[in-house]
């Protein structure tokens, strides 16, 4: 059993971190304050092979697999999770196209995304249905050689900047609940689409989030991804796959919290000695470090197993759950260690605190992960 990363993966890890250190700090504060998406950084990232890096080279990606994606995500999130999300989620939704799409679809949509010429989005969540994916109500009705789509989507990452949406729709309402859905690619320039940017988010404010409305939107029938009626199962596979990326976000953010806290504990003095000399401070740092290392094992193993063709989706749910718990704990501890300075934007930990909470919410709430894991345990 070898826990060491290959030289290639270590180089990828270092490159991603150096890219983030160079490109993120000059725009991080303004992007957070103004809720500003950063297309220029996305394009630079694509030039460096960081966009859609998990996608095989034949479709324009770097071919580093899901472990490579986890490493990239971790390192970008160490610097700024929101800006990092713009890069790793630039191919969001492409997972469905890669696993279930035709060769023509893969070449049409994956290649330009990896090149930084397009941004993709997964249009899944709806105003009245999030975790309850079987409760989605967006409809697609076939009319000759076209699908006519009507409905609303909510909290869509890349919503106002995406060039196309992989959209979850009801296409077979006469079928049983889980067999009603299909996934359809909808170009963002199709007539009948209204995109409204969501402002006032607690965290990841540089990431674009939007509400999408489809009103009699028409797309060719060949834009369906995978089989008709298989959309629900494709979506579950999508979430199982992307949870390792979200878990890697939590890992990177928690690492950043720990690193910032150690620096501050060394520099700040209280009662005539460094803050880090006090056992209460050391206890917080120790707990953060233990959680980070346990999370690292879950994230790396989950991603590695997917690349090995032996995915463990229960482990993926565990990684996602523990990432949220770890990031929230670490961010809270970091603010406490920084004291009053942790509450102002002179130090980054207040932003870490705001960014962390989303990790317990998107790509499956922590409660949903508990249900997933619990069902498996009870079935043994």
CATH value at residue 30: 1.10.540.10
Euclidean distance between CA atoms 199 and 201, whole angstroms: 6
**Model pTM score:** 0.97
Lowest mean pLDDT: which of 35-39, 66-70, 132-136, 271-275?
132-136
Q: Do residues 367 and 260 share a domain?
A: yes
Residue 1 located in a structural domain:
no
Picking from 85, 64, 91, the residue whose alpha carbon sits closest to that of residue 7 is: 64
Q: Do residues 153 and 21 share a domain?
A: no
Last residue of a domain, one of 62, 83, 114: 114
pLDDT digit string, tens, across residues 134-164: 899 999 999 999 999 999 999 999 999 999 9
Give the range of the structural domain holding residue 133, as residue numbers without chain letter: 120-229
Note if 363 is an active site residue.
Answer: yes
Lowest mean pLDDT: which of 72-81, 89-98, 125-134?
125-134
Last residue of a domain, one of 204, 229, 254: 229
What are the DSSP calls for 40-85, one per residue?
Answer: HHHHHHHHTT-TTTTS-GGGTS---HHHHHHHHHHHHHHH-HHHHH
Euclidean distance between CA atoms 321 and 4, whole angstroms: 24
Can you tell me the mean pLDDT for 214-243? 96
| Selected catalytic residue, list 126, 211, 255, 363 | 363
**Residue showing tokens 């369906």:** 224
Q: What is the 3-state secondary structure (H, E, C) of 129-151?
A: ECCCHHHCCCEEEEECCEEEEEE
Q: Do residues 33 and 137 share a domain?
A: no
53: its two tokens: 């890096």
Q: Do residues 71 and 140 share a domain?
A: no
Element (H, E) at 168: strand 164-170
CB 18 within 8 A of CB 76: no
Residue 268 located in a structural domain:
yes
Paired residues of 167 in beta bridges = 123, 184
84: its two tokens: 């990092």
What's the CATH number where 218 sits? 2.40.110.10
Residue 148 burial (CB count, 10 A): 17
């Amino acid at each position: 059993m070898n826990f060491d990363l290959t030289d290639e993966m270590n180089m990828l890890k270092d490159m991603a971190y150096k890219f983030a250190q160079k490109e993120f700090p000059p725009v991080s504060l303004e992007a957070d304050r103004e809720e500003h998406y950063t297309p220029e950084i996305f394009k630079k990232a694509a030039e460096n092979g960081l966009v859609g890096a998990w996608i095989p080279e034949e479709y324009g990606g770097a071919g580093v697999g899901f472990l490579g994606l986890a490493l990239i995500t971790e390192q970008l999130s160490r610097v700024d999770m929101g800006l990092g999300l713009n890069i790793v989620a630039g191919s969001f939704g492409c997972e469905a196209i890669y696993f279930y799409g035709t060769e023509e679809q893969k070449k049409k949509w994956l290649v330009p995304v990896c090149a930084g010429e397009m941004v993709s989005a997964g249009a899944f969540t709806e105003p009245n249905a999030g975790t309850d994916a079987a409760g989605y109500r967006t409809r697609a009705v076939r009319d000759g050689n076209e699908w006519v789509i009507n409905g609303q989507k909510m909290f869509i990452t890349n919503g106002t900047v995406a060039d196309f949406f992989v959209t979850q729709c009801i296409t077979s309402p006469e079928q049983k609940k889980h067999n009603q859905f299909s996934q359809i690619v909808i170009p963002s320039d199709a007539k009948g689409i209204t995109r409204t940017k969501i402002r006032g988010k607690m965290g990841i404010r540089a990431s674009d989030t939007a509400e999408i409305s489809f009103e009699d939107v028409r797309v060719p029938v060949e834009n369906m991804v995978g089989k008709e009626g298989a959309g629900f199962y494709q979506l579950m596979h999508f979430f199982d796959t992307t949870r390792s990326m979200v878990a890697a976000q939590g890992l990177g953010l928690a690492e950043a919290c720990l690193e910032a806290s150690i620096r501050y504990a060394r520099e700040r003095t209280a009662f005539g000695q460094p803050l880090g000399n006090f056992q209460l401070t050391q206890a917080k740092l120790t707990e953060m470090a233990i959680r980070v290392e346990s999370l690292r094992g879950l994230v790396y193993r989950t991603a590695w197993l997917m690349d090995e063709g032996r995915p463990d989706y229960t482990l993926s749910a565990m990684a996602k759950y523990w990432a949220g718990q770890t990031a929230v704990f670490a961010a809270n501890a970091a603010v406490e260690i920084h004291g009053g300075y942790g509450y102002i934007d002179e130090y980054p930990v207040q932003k870490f605190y705001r960014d962390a909470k989303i990790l317990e919410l998107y790509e499956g709430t922590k409660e949903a992960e508990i249900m997933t894991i619990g069902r498996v345990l009870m079935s043994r």
